[in-house]
Structure 1
Amino acid sequence: MASLSIRKVVKRYGSGPRAAQVIHGVSAEIADGEFIVIVGPSGCGKSTLLRMVAGLEEVSEGEIAIGPRVVNQLEPSERDIAMVFQNYALYPHMSVYDNMAYGLKIQGLPRDAIRQRVEKAAAILELGALLQRKPRELSGGQRQRVAMGRAIVRQPQVFLFDEPLSNLDAKLRVQTRLEIQKLHRELGITSLFVTHDQVEAMTLAQRMIVMNAGRIEQIGTPEAVYASPATTFVASFIGSPPMNLIEGHPEGLFFMAGGERLALPAGTELPLAGATLGVRPEHLAVGDSGWPVTVEMVEVLGAERLLYVKLGSTSLVVRTDDAQLRPQVGDRLHVRPHAGKLHWFHPTTHQRLDA
C-alpha cells in the first residue's frame, strides 16, 4: 500500500494556442489506506484525472506520485495499481477463475500462488460457487464482483474505480456499495473512486473531492462538505434535493429577495452587501408565521414529503416528515429557517463568506 500525491496537475489536449485545457492545476494528498471519492458532473474532468493516475493519459504539467515514486513516465503496468471499470471488461470466453487469474499468469506467478490468491479473493467477494461459470451466466452485480476480484488478486498499492456501479440497477448499486465498503475495511488499500452520483460519494467516501470544470471546488469529509459547502456549486451539487439558494441583499434586519422581505432567526449576522443565502430543504419548517410561499408541487416519498414552493420569484424546496401536513397545489403556507442553519455566499465569486 502507498499514499498518492497529485501535485499541480494540468491536462491539455492539443498544443499551441488552440490547445484545450481540461484539468487546471489540481492538487490533492491521499493518505496510505484512505478511500477517496472524486465526484462531479459529467465533463468535469474526474475520469481524466483518474486515467492520468492510472497512466492511461499523459500529464501535461505537474506530478503524480504513488508512495515515494513519481510515476509520470511509468507505464500503467509499472505503477502497481489495479483498475475497476464501468463496463466490467471481462473475457467472455474465460471462466470466472481464469478471468481473475489471467493477470497473475501473465506476471509468471506459480500456479499454487495464483490459486491461493484467487480463492482468497473469491471468499471475500462470495464468488466461490461461481468460479467455473462464464461471464454470460452471471448477473450484473456478480460480474462487477468478478472485476473487483481481478483487481484484488493483483495486491496493488492503489485501487482505481471508474464509475463501477453505473451499469447496475438501484438495488444492486446499494448492495455493491456495501461490498466495496467491506472490501476496503478488510484490505485497507488506498482507493480512488470516481462517480457522478453524489449519493455514492456521500456513502462511500472517507473524504471526497468535489470537481467542477477541471478544478477542485472542495476537499473534505462527506459530513463537512454537506454542512459547510465551500461554494454555491458544492451547495447545489451535494445534497438531494440540493440546497436552496436565494439571491438578495440586506435591508436593516431583513433580507430582501425575490420581491419579499425575509425575516431571519434572531442573532443572524447579515452580510454587509448583496449575497446569496443558502438553506437546506430540511432546515425550513412549515408554521403559522415566516416567509409566505405558494405550493407548486408535492412529492410524497413514504415517510417524508418534498414541497416545491414559490417565494416571490424564487423557487424553494421544503422537506418535511410531518404526516399531518398534506398541502395541495396552490395552497399558501409560511416557512421559516432553523436558527444557525443559514449559509452565505459571495454573489460574484460564489465562495462561502464565513469560511
Structure 2
Amino acid sequence: MAAISLKNIIKRYASGKHTNQVIHNVSAEIRDGEFVVIVGPSGCGKSTLLRMVAGLEEVSEGTISIGDRIVNDLEPAERDIAMVFQNYALYPHMSVFENMAYGLKIAKIPKDEIRARVEKAAGILELMPFLDRKPRALSGGQRQRVAMGRAIVRQPQVFLFDEPLSNLDAKLRAQTRLEIQKLHRELGITSLFVTHDQVEAMTLAQRMMVMHGGVMEQFGTPEEVYNKPATTFVASFIGSPPMNLLKHVSGLTEGTIFGVRPEHIDVGRGDWRLEVEAVELLGAERLLYCKMGLDSLIVRIQEDEPVPAIGSSILAAPRSDKVHYFDAATGLRKIL
C-alpha cells in the first residue's frame, strides 16, 4: 500500500493560442490505505485526473507521487496500480478464473500462486461458484465483480476506479457499493474512485474531492462537505435535493447569498411566507416546491407532518444554526 501525493497538477491539451487547460493546479494528499472519491459533473476533469495518476495521461505541470516515488515519467505498468473501468473489458472466450488469472499468467507467476490468489479474491467477492463460467453467463453485477477480482489478484499498492458502477441498474449499484466498502475494509488498499453520482461519493468516501471546471472546489470528509460546503457549487451539487441558495432574503447583507438545506426549514411557524407550487411524495418524506418573493426553494417534511395544498400559503423558518452564507461575487463560503 502507498499514499498518493498530487502537487500543483496542471493538464493542458495543445499549445500556443490553441491551449486548452482542463486541470487547474490541483493539490491533495491521499493517505496510505484511504478511500478517496473524486466527484463532479461530466467534463469537470475527474477522469483526466485519475488517468494522470494511472499514467494514461501525461502531466503538463506538477508532480504525482505514489509512495516515495515520483511517477510522472513512469509507464502505467511500473506504477504498481490496478484500474477498474466502467467497461468490464472481460475476455468473452475465457472463464471467470481465466479472466482473473490472465495478468498473473502473463507476468509468469507460478501456477499454484495464481490459483491461490484467484481463489482468495473469488472468496472475498463471492465468485467461487462462478469460476468456470464464461462472462456471457453472468449478470452485470457479477461481471463487475470479476473485473474487481482481476484487479485484486495483482496485489497493487493503489486501486483506481473510473465510474465502475455506471452500467448497473439502481439496485445493483447499491449492492455493489456495499461490496466495494466491504472490499476496502478487508484489503485496506489506497483507492481513488471517480463518479458523477454524489450519492455514491457520500456513501463510499472516507474523504471526497469535489471537482468543477478542472478546479478542486473542496477536499474533505462527506460530513465536512455536506455540512460546511466551501462554495455555492459544492452546496448545490452535494445533497439531494440540493441546498437552497437564496438572494432576496429579508435583512440579507448586500453581496451575500443565503444557503439552507431543505431539511433545515421548519414549517408552521416563522417569518417566511411561502407559496406552495408543487408537492413530491417520496415515501417517508415529502418535498414542497415553493416560492418566496423572487426566490424558489425546496422544503423537506416528514410523512407524519401535514401536507399543505398546492397553491396554499405557509409560514416557515430556517434553523438558525444550520444556515450558510456565500459571497455572491466569488461563490466562496463566508463566516459572518
TM superposition score category, shorter chain reference: over 0.9
Give the drift of 1:288: 3.8
| Distance in 1, Cα, partners of 2:269 & 2:331 | 33
**Alignment partner of 1:279 is 2:275:** no
| Distance in 2, Cα, partners of 1:281 & 1:324 | 15
Residue 191 of structure 1 aligns with which residue?
191
| Distance in 1, Cα, partners of 2:243 & 2:291 | 15
Residue 298 of structure 2 aligns with which residue?
317
Give the drift of 1:324: 3.9
Give the drift of 1:322: 4.5
**Alignment partner of 1:255 is 2:251:** yes
| Distance in 2, Cα, partners of 1:288 & 1:14 | 58
Residue 320 of structure 2 aligns with which residue?
339
Residue 132 of structure 2 aligns with which residue?
132
Q: What's the C-alpha RMSD, in Å, of the aligned pairs?
A: 1.1
**Alignment partner of 1:62 is 2:62:** yes
| Distance in 2, Cα, partners of 1:255 & 1:110 | 73
| Distance in 2, Cα, partners of 1:159 & 1:137 | 27
Q: Is the 8 A contact 1:248 1:275 kept in 2?
A: no
The correspondence of residues 1-355 of structure 1 with structure 2, limited to 5 A, is 1-248=1-248, 254-255=250-251, 271=253, 273-354=254-335
Give the drift of 1:151: 0.4
| Distance in 2, Cα, partners of 1:338 & 1:25 | 37
Q: With structure 2 as the length reference, what TM-score do the two structures score?
A: 0.98
Q: Is the 8 A contact 1:41 1:212 kept in 2?
A: yes
Residue 262 of structure 1 aligns with which residue?
none
Query: Aligned letter for 2:265?
Result: L
Deviation digits for residues 319-338 of structure 1 (CA, Å, limit 9, x no counterpart):
00052412221111111101
Deviation digits for residues 10-56 of structure 1 (CA, Å, limit 9, x no counterpart):
11111112111100111110010000000000000000000000011
Query: Aligned letter for 1:333?
Result: I
Query: Aligned letter for 1:157?
Result: Q
Give the drift of 1:87: 1.1
| Distance in 1, Cα, partners of 2:251 & 2:105 | 67
Identity %: 70
| Distance in 2, Cα, partners of 1:346 & 1:79 | 42
Query: Aligned letter for 2:64?
Result: I
Residue 264 of structure 1 aligns with which residue?
none
| Distance in 2, Cα, partners of 1:316 & 1:39 | 25
1:24 partner SS: strand
1:112 partner SS: helix
Give the drift of 1:221: 0.3
| Distance in 2, Cα, partners of 1:70 & 1:324 | 57
Give the drift of 1:289: 3.6
| Distance in 1, Cα, partners of 2:305 & 2:117 | 57
Give the drift of 1:84: 0.4
Q: Is the 8 A contact 1:248 1:274 kept in 2?
A: no
Q: Is the 8 A contact 2:269 2:317 kept in 1?
A: no
Unaligned runs of 5+ in 1: 257-270
Q: Is the 8 A contact 1:279 1:341 kept in 2?
A: yes
Q: Is the 8 A contact 2:248 2:295 kept in 1?
A: no
Unaligned runs of 5+ in 2: none
| Distance in 2, Cα, partners of 1:322 & 1:116 | 52
Query: Aligned letter for 1:214?
Result: G
Q: With structure 1 as the length reference, what TM-score do the two structures score?
A: 0.93
| Distance in 1, Cα, partners of 2:291 & 2:195 | 32
| Distance in 1, Cα, partners of 2:116 & 2:221 | 36
2:320 partner SS: coil
Query: Aligned letter for 2:141?
Result: G
2:211 partner SS: strand
Query: Aligned letter for 2:295?
Result: T
Q: Is the 8 A contact 1:246 1:276 kept in 2?
A: yes
Deviation digits for residues 205-235 of structure 1 (CA, Å, limit 9, x no counterpart):
0000000000100000000110000000000
Which runs of 4 or more aligned residues in structure 1 lie more than 3 Å from their structure 2 counterparts after TM superposition? none
| Distance in 1, Cα, partners of 2:24 & 2:90 | 34
Q: Is the 8 A contact 1:95 1:134 kept in 2?
A: yes
| Distance in 2, Cα, partners of 1:324 & 1:191 | 42
| Distance in 1, Cα, partners of 2:280 & 2:158 | 42
Query: Aligned letter for 2:329?
Result: T
Query: Aligned letter for 1:60?
Result: S
Q: Is the 8 A contact 2:10 2:23 kept in 1?
A: yes
